[in-house]
Amino acid sequence: MLLIKMFFRYFCFSFTFNRRVKADVLSQLPAKRRELVVLDPSIIKKGSLGRHAKTMLTDKLSSKEKRSALFEYFHATGSVKLPAIEQYVLDIIECGHKFLLFAHHTDVLDSLDKLLSEKSLACI
């Protein structure tokens, strides 16, 4: 029976993501510090954002369509800023600083994960 429990524990914890509760890890984190980061504007290509903004300002859309357009705009802002975000993260890495990075858009998270993997840096 002990062998089965050990196998079960190994199998569960080796191949799954263990989510930790905020209350359990909050004491291990530094104090929250919100910081406005100014990205390099020359890297950001804003061309497609104008189209999304015009769509949201159209009076012919229903409230559901406007909400959908707003979410598309938020998604587009993440994609447009991606090269500048990557450059900022690379600058932090080159300085040797430790950092916590949170992102909302899956495209941004996937891109940063790929970037860190290419640099052979571990991330959670």
Give DSSP secondary structure letters for 39-60: --TTT---HHHHHHHHHHH-TT
In a domain, 123, yes or no: no
How far is Cα 19 from Cα 103, in angstroms, rounded to an integer? 17
> What pLDDT is stored for residue 62 in this prediction?
81
Pairs from 64-73 (Cβ < 8 Å, separation ≥ 24): 73/49
**Mean pLDDT value of segment 80-90:** 90
In a domain, 93, yes or no: yes
> What pLDDT is stored for residue 7 in this prediction?
62
> What pLDDT is stored for residue 30 in this prediction?
81
Host domain of residue 41: 30-118
Q: Answer yes or no: is pLDDT of 9 > 80.
A: no
Q: How many domains does the chain have?
A: 1
Q: Answer yes or no: is pLDDT of 13 > 80.
A: no
**Mean pLDDT value of segment 106-113:** 87
In a domain, 112, yes or no: yes
In a domain, 62, yes or no: yes
Q: Answer yes or no: is pLDDT of 118 > 80.
A: yes
In a domain, 2, yes or no: no
> What pLDDT is stored for residue 80 in this prediction?
86
Q: What is the residue type of 79?
A: S
> What pLDDT is stored for residue 45 in this prediction?
78
In a domain, 68, yes or no: yes
In a domain, 1, yes or no: no
Instruction: Give residue 107's pLDDT band: very low, low, confident or very high (50, 70, 90).
Output: confident
